[in-house]
Structure 1
């Protein structure tokens, strides 16, 4: 089996940060999700390693994820958080984290932020310049419809910053709206410093099946090319839908329909390059070494 790096996985401990979005109506997600459970989910699926992604806009959550990463060698890297809307505080936080080699990106929960213009704020733009200077990527979650165009403008304004579109921007469930989403996704992909994750596609009102996801994968593949596309399991958000196994089986089946080179890129190569992952220790027991870089080369098919 080829190497697999899950570019989007979460853990959280509510004794460490607030996670105010986690409420009783989320059912089995309304509890702590700890590293040992995450490791078992990966191991059961035969996935080698994962990138942990922040689940709270707090430095406490970022510090927790880095502690987890240092203690668990299946964690290949961390996408954390800094206060982007305060340039001075963001730079101070980046300075504090500068000696953390496992920090590979920054994210803000833009979909939960009430400010539609968050990505346009001068302080945010200045902070993202500092993120680029630090050699870190910038993840944008659930960008459609409020923030996908803004993510494009960020990538255009800051060509040294790698902008990662989580969950393909979160495509709309309705077929009538897919055209507008795809048009904006292609506009983002036209910029060579952008990347997308084939992840997080459990959407209210839309089936989670091959017939529904296949066109989304192919639209992203045509827009970005495999070298700028990454697999992400988005566990534990898949727990209400059967957990890691069924989600992985469906997504892996679709990826297996592609060429060997495309599979290798989407399942591991793109994540390793985008996040500069090195010395990955597999839950299956082997270590692989890769040279770090956050420079994204435009794929010929993108």
Structure 2
């Protein structure tokens, strides 16, 4: 199943230049730029949790800009994109707004897809959160909401953010989240799958805030072993799937929640990383992701699912074209018709991010 004849919105991409803008991985990028040994040798020196998360550091050590995305998108008919914050590390409480300003300055819409919306970084527990939201909105009229780094995994050998578990339920987070609600901005929740109940509790407490679950909840290890003890055998992976399934079902009962079909090719899910330049083919992807997509379609419906490529983070596993084809095929195999595909790949993102011109 391909997307020929459709117009597509890619609702989850990242742009970066770690050599000229402050990113958490800028030091690594600059090191690799001058390291006099091959990348494939040097990456073996990196911590295992970082190697497993990125799969291949190559996309992270170079700029990834509109022309790079244009090359990667190939024949997928993407008309507009939504940029999601990615590890900006500037100093000062208003620094994340500089990423919004930087993204808005990039040459989208020339011979590349248009920039439809920007989701910036912001921490509701931080001092000056309201001022940061104002700064984001001043930086670009395309600013629509925030994403906060709260990902945590009980397997300490799986990469997470340096935050304790349960952040989404703390009084400080909830107080700041109320400021987000007052401004009618959205919240992108990137969590590991065991944190999905925390997102459910947040959705229950703030039913008027649109919450977008990134990457279907990122069940690390669902396709293969990662970390020290996660997904190490088929029985454990089956148990992981069943827990993810039940938690996603509970989350979907809240109508203010939308789920992103994105990040399903992230290496941390347990995909074997193929040799560079040999993307995982569609039939293999389809076999892995179909059960997840079938369940997501059952509980959220086509009107609350949106597609995003998560490029270039997913690039070590496959291409945008292969991923989009596998997702469209899996949905079609489970009863999605042309109207449903149009919702998932275009109109839901238009509505959610207020993309009036696309």
TM-score, normalising length from structure 1? 0.84
Alignment of 1:74-223 (within 5 A): 74-86=114-126, 88-99=127-138, 100-111=140-151, 112-145=161-194, 147-172=195-220, 173=222, 174-202=237-265, 203-206=268-271, 209-223=285-299
Match of 2:57 in 1: 27
Contact 1:5 1:268 in 2 (8 A): yes
Residue 62 of structure 1 and its aligned partner are, at CA, apart by: 4.4
Q: Give ranges in structure 2 of 5+ residues lacking alignment.
A: 29-42, 44-50, 152-160, 223-236, 273-283
Distance 1:278 1:62 in 2: 23
Distance 2:186 2:87 in 1: 18
| SS of residue paired to 2:212 | strand
RMSD of aligned Cα (Å): 2.2
**Residues 242 and 13 of structure 1, relative CA distance in 2, 3 Å threshold:** same
Contact 2:100 2:136 in 1 (8 A): no
Match of 2:342 in 1: 264
**Residues 48 and 127 of structure 1, relative CA distance in 2, 3 Å threshold:** same
Match of 1:241 in 2: 317
Distance 1:30 1:56 in 2: 11
Residue 253 of structure 1 and its aligned partner are, at CA, apart by: 2.8
Match of 1:69 in 2: 104
Match of 1:2 in 2: 6
Number of aligned residue pairs: give it: 278
Residue 105 of structure 1 and its aligned partner are, at CA, apart by: 1.7
Q: Which moved more, 1:246-255 or 1:130-139?
A: 246-255
Match of 2:15 in 1: 11
**Residues 219 and 66 of structure 1, relative CA distance in 2, 3 Å threshold:** farther
Distance 2:88 2:99 in 1: 12
Contact 2:10 2:78 in 1 (8 A): yes
Residue 96 of structure 1 and its aligned partner are, at CA, apart by: 1.9
| SS of residue paired to 1:48 | strand
Residue 127 of structure 1 and its aligned partner are, at CA, apart by: 1.6
Residue 276 of structure 1 and its aligned partner are, at CA, apart by: 1.6
**Residues 180 and 101 of structure 1, relative CA distance in 2, 3 Å threshold:** same
Per-residue CA distance 1:57-106 (angstroms, 9 max, x = gap): 555454234433354231110111123212x4110111222333201120
Q: Give ranges in structure 1 of 5+ residues lacking alignment.
A: 281-302
Match of 1:273 in 2: 351
Residue 185 of structure 1 and its aligned partner are, at CA, apart by: 0.7
| SS of residue paired to 2:87 | coil
Residue 144 of structure 1 and its aligned partner are, at CA, apart by: 1.0
